[in-house]
Amino acid sequence: MRIEVLVGDITTDREADAIVNAANSSLLGGGGVDGAIHRAAGPALLAECRLLGGCPTGEARITGAGHLPARHVIHAVGPVWRGGDHGEDALLASCYREALRLAGTHGCRVVAFPAISTGVYGFPADRAARIAVATLREEAPTTPAVERVRLWAFGEPAGRLLRDALQDAER
């Protein structure tokens, strides 16, 4: 699996078969990436999410993508940062693992991920970048259908953290 880093708006990714949403546990939309994905996808996404009845932290659910260019949205519920002593690292890794597993199960070759939990959930971005890259690399052999992962950063500082984590993992 090839991992690449992009900076910009994940909702515009025309190469991804699935876009991962940094969702809240209700799956009914929110701020940040979650709100942007729901706005871009339109009301069909919200209607489908209502049928799912939510999602626990560390897990993921898959839906159609509404008006987004991807076929699927994978809703991954990341942890709220509470200082690092409440299982946050394991829950974040689980989000990436579960989202990748769902993508592979649904025949997705290209998957776009945001920086889960690094916005209003307060997870330290550098730590989250290292967890994301390590988990995706570790899980790659178990999801051979996924050929490429596109890690999206909203701004250049986050992009730099993701590129550094990727470079460090390749050493």
Q: Which residues are annotated as catalytic? A: 34
Euclidean distance between the first and the last CA atom of the chain, given in angstroms as a whole number: 17
Dihedrals phi, psi of 140, to nearest 5 degrees: -50, -45
In the numeric block, the tokens 């880093």 are attached to 5
Give the Cα separation of 72 and 68 in Å (integer).
8
Q: Where would I find the H helices in the chain?
A: 32-41, 43-50, 88-105, 125-139, 156-170
Could you give the strand order of the β-sheet that contains 2-7, starting from the edge strand earlier in sequence? 2-7, 148-153, 110-113, 18-23, 72-77, 60-64
Give the Cα separation of 39 and 160 in Å (integer).
27
Q: Which amino acid is at 148?
A: R
